[in-house]
């Protein structure tokens, strides 16, 4: 809604590509109990961020868009947490994670800016309708 259609599609592809890269990297994690937990959380958060952004782009109203976008922001940010934790406990190398963490951070920033834009537009519309 706040992004143009082509920019929204490009961001959908970026989020999907990030989820794909994370899934591939998670396949190489050790087969321990702690790695299984981190791997599952990482895959869930990355795929959820992509899926919820896709759902936001198909929202029926600006409020539904904001709600789905907010979930996507939370999940993309959570992906950052799990990536950092995986490095800290030695499940993935820092060099391998760096580009994925940078991409997740950029996605979070774009989504936050988009949410801010749509909220500002809704506020302006509400003020003009109440006058």
Burial of 116 (0-12, 13-18, 19+ CB in 10 A): exposed
Taking Cα atoms as reference points, which of 44, 36, 50 lies closest to residue 86?
36
Number of domain units in the chain: 1
Looking at residue 4, what is its pLDDT? 67
Looking at residue 3, what is its pLDDT? 60
Q: CATH number, domain at 120?
A: 1.20.1440.60
Domain that residue 102 falls in: 5-130
Averaged over successive runs of 10 residues, the pLDDT of the chain (131 residues) comes to: 79 98 97 97 98 96 95 98 98 97 98 95 86 70
CA pair distance 19, 26, nearest whole angstrom: 10
With beta carbons less than 8 A apart as the criterion, state whether 77 and 65 touch: no
């Amino acid at each position: 809604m706040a992004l143009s259609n082509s920019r929204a599609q490009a961001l959908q592809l970026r989020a999907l590509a990030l989820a794909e890269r994370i899934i591939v990297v998670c396949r190489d994690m050790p087969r321990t109990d702690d790695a299984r937990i981190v791997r599952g959380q990482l895959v869930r958060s990355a795929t959820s961020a992509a899926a919820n952004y896709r759902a936001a782009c198909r929202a029926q109203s600006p409020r539904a868009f904001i709600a789905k976008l907010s979930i996507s922001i939370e999940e993309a940010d959570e992906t950052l947490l799990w990536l950092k934790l995986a490095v800290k406990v030695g499940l993935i190398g820092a060099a391998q994670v760096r580009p994925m963490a940078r991409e997740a951070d950029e996605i979070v920033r774009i989504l936050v800016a988009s949410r801010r834009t749509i909220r500002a537009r809704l506020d302006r519309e509400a003020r003009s309708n109440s006058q």
